[in-house]
Chain A
Amino acid sequence: MGAAVTPLLEIRELTRKFGGLTATDAVSFDVQEHEILSVIGPNGAGKSTLFKMMTSFLATTSGEVLFRGKRISDLKPHIVARMGIVRTFQETSIFKNMTVRESVLIAQHLRSTASLSGYFFGSRAARSDEDSFGRRADEVLSFLGISEIANERASNLPQGHLRALGIAIGLSTDPVALLLDEPFAGMNQDETMKMVSLVKSVRDRGVTVLLVEHDMAAVMTISDRIIVLNFGKKIAEGTPAQIQSDENVIEAYLGSSDDEIGI
C-alpha cells in the first residue's frame, strides 16, 4: 500500500480540545486512493471527533487536513462535501419523511449546475439537472440492490435498509472519499456480511472508504489498513494482521470489556 505517490488525504497533527479534555491529540496519518481504511478504538478514543474535523463539521484546535495537497479543515461542511469528502451518519440520521428515492435525489445537490432561481423558474440547466439526477438516483439504487424500496418512506424502513439508504445517500453525492460512521453497529452476522460486500463494491467503484467501527470481525475482513486510537492518540497503524499482533493495541483493548472488542 505504501507505494502510492501522493496520498488522497493527509491528516497532520490533528488536535481538538474540549475545555480541558483533549479528544484527539496530534493524530497524523495518510489515506491512499481507493483503499478501505478503518479507524478503531475504545469508546471515547476520539474517532468521531476525527471524522468531524476531516469534514469541517468541527473546527480544529490545531493541525490540518489536506485533500490532494489542499487544506480542507476549518472550512464550511458543505464546501468540503462539494470537494468530494462526504460523511454519512448513523442510521438515526436520515430524512425521515422522504422516500428513499427522494433522499437520493436530494443527495445529488452538490452536483447541481442550475441556480436556485433556475429551479424556481424551470430553466434549461435545472431541467437537465433533474433528468440526470433521476437517472443517477435509479442507477445508485439498483447498484446497491434497493430499487424495490425506492418509494418507501425512510421512517418505515427496517434497520438493514436504513444503513443501505445511508450509503446510498453518501454514494449519490459521487464522492471521492466516503466516511462511514459505524456501518455495522447493531447488525447480526448475516447483515454484517452483506454490508461488508456492499462496502467493498463501493470501493470497487473507485471510492475511497474510511470507516469508524466497533465490530472487530468486520473491520478485520474489510480493511486494507487500520488506524487505532486510544485516549485521542494514534497508538498503531497497519494491516489487519499487523494490528492483531500489535502489543499496544492488545493492551489498550484489554483495559476495556470483552464485549467492546467483539472478537
Chain B
Amino acid sequence: MSLKDARRILALAAFLISVFWLIPYLIAVSGYWNFYFTLTSVALLSVASAGVWLTFYIGRINIGQGAFALIGAYVSAILVTKAGISFWISLPIAGLFAGMVAVLIGLPILRLRGVYFAMITLVLTEVVRLAALALPITNGAKGIVSIPLPSELSIFGIVLIPDFSAIENPKLAFYYTACALMVACYAAMYRIVNSRLGQLCRSMQQNEELALSVGVNIAYLRVIIFAISSFFGGVGGAMFGAIAQSVYPSSFVVKDSIDFMLNCFLGGLGYVFGPMLGTLVLYFGWDLLFELGKYQLLIYSCVLILVILVLPNGLLSVRLSRILWARQ
C-alpha cells in the first residue's frame, strides 16, 4: 500500500468517525438538537448536488435537479400514502422513476449543449412544478401532507431499520440515514470517476467529436450518466419529503435547482467531494445570514457576485478544496 492510499484511508476513516460519532456526540453534549435538521438537510442536498456534478462531468450544465428531486419526493409520498408501501421500498423506486424520466427527457435534450441544455433543464424544473399543481394524483397546491414516518424494515424477521415513529429521537435516525445515503452516493461517484467510466466521461466533457471518433458511444453514455444523476436527485428528494412528512409543488423550485448548481461550482468542479463541501458552505452561509432578516438575500447575492468577480474561474473553490485535501 502506498503512502497516498494510506492517507486516503485515514481521511476516509476520519470523515466517517466525525460524521457518525463525533458530530452526534458534540450535539448531545451541547444540546443543539436543531443542528440535526441542518446537517441532515446538508447531507441530502449534497446527494442531489452530486447528481448535478455528475452531469457537469459529461459537459452539461444541469439546472433541472429540482425537477427530479420533486419527482422523487412525490413518487415516494404517493406510494407511501396511497399504496401503503413501506418508505424503504419507495425510496429506490423514487430514484428509479426519476432516472426513467431522465432517460425519456434526456434522449432528445442531451443533444443540446452549453446554454441551451442549461435553459431547457431550468424550464423543466418549472414544468414539473406546474405539473404537480395540475395533476390530480399530486393533490395540487395542497400537496401531500402527514406522510407517516418510515416504518420498520425487516427481512426474515430480522429488523434492519426500526420503525421511526417508535424511536425516541427520529431526528437522530434521519441524520444517520441521510449520512449513510450521502456516503453511499459519494462512494459510487468516487468509483465512477476513478474507473474507466470516469475516463470516458472526461473524454466526452473535453471533446465529444474526438470521443465519437475513437468509438465511444456518447449518446448512450450521456443518457446513462444523466439517469444516474437524476436517480440521486430522486432519492434525495424522496428522503426530504419523508423528513418533512409533506410534499408541495413548491418543495423544490427553480431556486433549488440553481442552488444545486451553485453548490457544485462553489465546491469545485474538479473534485468529487466538491459538491459536498459547496452544499455545506452555501447552506450554512445562508443559515447564518438568516439573522440579517430581510437583508439575507441581499448579502448572500452580493457575496456570491463578489466571489465570481474576484475569482471568475472559480479558483477559490479549487484552492479551498485543495487546502482541505492536504490537511486531511
Note whether A and B contact each other (Cβ less than 8 A): yes
A residues contacting B by CB (< 8 A) are 55, 57, 76-78, 81-82, 86-89, 93-98, 102, 105-110, 112, 116, 119-120, 122, 126, 129-130, 169-170, 172-173
Is the contact region of chain A dominated by helix, strand, or loop, or is it mixed? helix
Contacts of B301 in A (CB 8 A): none
Given A97-B202, A119-B197, A122-B195, 4 additional A-B pairs, CB 8 A: A77-B213, A95-B206, A110-B216, A173-B215
CA distance A86 to B209 in the complex (A): 12
Q: Cβ of B209 and Cβ of A89 under 8 Å apart? A: yes
Q: Cβ of A86 and Cβ of B196 under 8 Å apart? A: no
Q: Cβ of A87 and Cβ of B196 under 8 Å apart? A: no
Q: Cβ of A120 and Cβ of B191 under 8 Å apart? A: yes
CA distance A106 to B199 in the complex (A): 7
User: Pick the contact of B200 from A77, A109, A126, A170 — CB < 8 Å?
Assistant: A109
Contacts of B213 in A (CB 8 A): 55, 57, 77, 81, 86-89
Q: Cβ of A93 and Cβ of B195 under 8 Å apart? A: no
Contacts of B281 in A (CB 8 A): none
B224, CB-defined interface residue at 8 Å? yes
Q: Cβ of B207 and Cβ of A173 under 8 Å apart? A: no
Contacts of A170 in B (CB 8 A): 214
CA distance A87 to B211 in the complex (A): 11
Q: Cβ of B215 and Cβ of A126 under 8 Å apart? A: no
Chain A CB within 10 Å — which of B191, B199, B215, B217 has the most? B215
Contacts of A77 in B (CB 8 A): 212-213
Q: Cβ of A78 and Cβ of B216 under 8 Å apart? A: yes
B residues contacting A by CB (< 8 A) are 191-192, 195-197, 199-200, 202-203, 206-207, 209-219, 221, 224
Q: Can you report 14 residue pairs joining A to B where beta carbons are below 8 Å apart?
A: A76-B217, A78-B218, A81-B212, A81-B215, A89-B209, A89-B213, A95-B203, A95-B207, A97-B206, A98-B202, A106-B203, A110-B215, A116-B224, A172-B214
Contacts of A86 in B (CB 8 A): 213-215
CA distance A170 to B224 in the complex (A): 26
CA distance A55 to B219 in the complex (A): 17
Task: Determine how close the nearest CB of chain A comes to the CB of B258; give it in whole angstroms.
Answer: 26
Contacts of B191 in A (CB 8 A): 120
Task: Determine how close the nearest CB of chain A comes to the CB of B121; give it in whole angstroms.
Answer: 23
Answer whether A109 and B210 are a contact pair too, CB < 8 Å, given A95-B203, A119-B196, A119-B197.
Answer: no
Contacts of A173 in B (CB 8 A): 214-215
Contacts of B206 in A (CB 8 A): 95-98
Contacts of A130 in B (CB 8 A): 196
CA distance A89 to B210 in the complex (A): 8
Q: Cβ of B197 and Cβ of A120 under 8 Å apart? A: yes
CA distance A76 to B196 in the complex (A): 22
CA distance A94 to B211 in the complex (A): 9
Q: Cβ of B199 and Cβ of A102 under 8 Å apart? A: yes
CA distance A130 to B221 in the complex (A): 19
Answer whether A82 and B215 are a contact pair too, CB < 8 Å, given A98-B202, A116-B224, A120-B191.
Answer: yes
Contacts of A89 in B (CB 8 A): 209-210, 213
CA distance A147 to B244 in the complex (A): 58
Contacts of A96 in B (CB 8 A): 206-207
Task: Determine how close the nearest CB of chain A comes to the CB of B303; give it in whole angstroms.
Answer: 29
Answer whether A126 and B203 are a contact pair too, CB < 8 Å, given A78-B215, A88-B213.
Answer: no
Question: In chain A, what residue has the closest Cβ to B210?
Answer: A93
Q: Cβ of B199 and Cβ of A105 under 8 Å apart? A: yes
Answer whether A78 and B212 are a contact pair too, CB < 8 Å, given A119-B196, A120-B195.
Answer: yes
Contacts of B224 in A (CB 8 A): 116
Task: Determine how close the nearest CB of chain A comes to the CB of B107; give it in whole angstroms.
Answer: 14
Chain B CB within 10 Å — which of A95, A96, A169, A173 has the most? A95
Q: Cβ of B210 and Cβ of A169 under 8 Å apart? A: yes
Q: Cβ of A126 and Cβ of B217 under 8 Å apart? A: no
Task: Determine how close the nearest CB of chain B comes to the CB of A172; give it in whole angstroms.
Answer: 8
Q: Cβ of A169 and Cβ of B214 under 8 Å apart? A: yes
User: Pick the contact of B207 from A94, A102, A116 — CB < 8 Å?
Assistant: A94
Contacts of A95 in B (CB 8 A): 202-203, 206-207, 210
Contacts of A57 in B (CB 8 A): 209, 212-213
